[in-house]
Amino acid sequence: MSAAFYQKEVKFFVAVDCIILGFNDKELNVLLYKRKFEPMKGEWSLMGGFVRSGESINDAASRVLTECTGIHDLFMEQVGAYGDVTRDLGERVVSVAYYALVNLNDFNTDLLKEYNAQWTRVSDLPNLIFDHTLMIKDTLARLKRKAATRPVGFNLLPDKFTLPQLQNLYEAIYQTPLDKRNFRKKLNSMDILEKLDEKDKKSSKRGAFYYTFNKEKYDKLLEDGFYFSL
């Protein structure tokens, strides 16, 4: 890196902003934090960070995600680049948004404190700095499409989950109620879940059977031209 081909051009700060989504109690939540530095110190914001020189944008997003969740190899996908001239009030910054899906429960609460972070229902967002509200809106639209055609929703649940939980999740993603019997019929026909003997009794007296997502089965089906759809 030295040839200096592009000397006449302008350079920009490039940042990543992470929309970290979790699911709890029938609602999607996003991890927000109170900014610890200027500009806009003390305001609500997404987790973010600047891209460093030896680092790809993807690497930067991974790094930020690992830093503030303590989890490696999260499911993560780029949403897009945000580049309005005045989007950052400090200086000109181009930001690339990524969303990540995590299981809200296996979350380190110490880490939350350390970062002034807080889970917030996406239906109940405070004012956010810059264009972060737009980034979240774009993310939710993208997730809606994605979850309908790829089994990414399972990243928002524990390894063992119940069908009512899964249905609540999809109702939250689609923002619409689903028919219980049709939902289960569809899942059943795809044959990508394993039913366990164990039951979850936290949310009912009768208890709901736990299931797991069988990735091996799913991958095998994919090869045969199968398409996930919910």
Partner DNA sequence: CCAAAAGTGTTCGAACTACACCCATGT
Partner DNA sequence: ACATGGGTGTAGTTCGAACACTTTTGG
Interface residue list for a copy of itself (CB under 8 A) = 1, 3-6, 9-14, 37-39, 50-58, 60, 78, 80-85, 90-94, 96, 145
The backbone torsions φ and ψ at residue 54, rounded to the nearest 5 degrees and listed phi first, read -95, 20
**DSSP 8-state class, residue 128:** B
Which candidate in 67, 114, 194, 198 is catalytic?
114
Rounded CA separation 194/188 (Å) = 10
- Partner from DNA, a copy of itself, none binding residue 179, C-beta < 5-8 Å depending on class: DNA
| Minimum CB distance to a copy of itself smaller for 39 or for 126 | 39
201 binds DNA (CB under 7 A): yes
Stretch of residues binding DNA (CB under 7 A), selected from 31-39, 117-125, 141-149, 162-170? 162-170
| Minimum CB distance to DNA smaller for 113 or for 185 | 185
Q: How far is the CB of 21 from DNA (least distance, A)?
A: 22
Provide the 10 A C-beta neighbour count for residue 181.
Answer: 8
- 55: annotated active-site residue: no
Supply the Cα-derived Rg of the chain in whole angstroms: 20
- For residue 12, which amino acid is it? F
Among positions 15-34, residues that touch DNA (CB under 7 A) are none
Q: Please provide the DSSP assignment of 158-216 as one string.
A: -SSEEHHHHHHHHHHHHTS---HHHHHHHHHHHT-EEEEEEEE-SS-SS-EEEEEE-HH
Rounded CA separation 218/216 (Å) = 5
Stretch of residues binding DNA (CB under 7 A), selected from 35-43, 65-73, 141-149, 158-166? 158-166
What residues act catalytically?
114
- What are the residues binding DNA (CB under 7 A)? 162-164, 179-182, 184-186, 199, 201, 203-209, 229
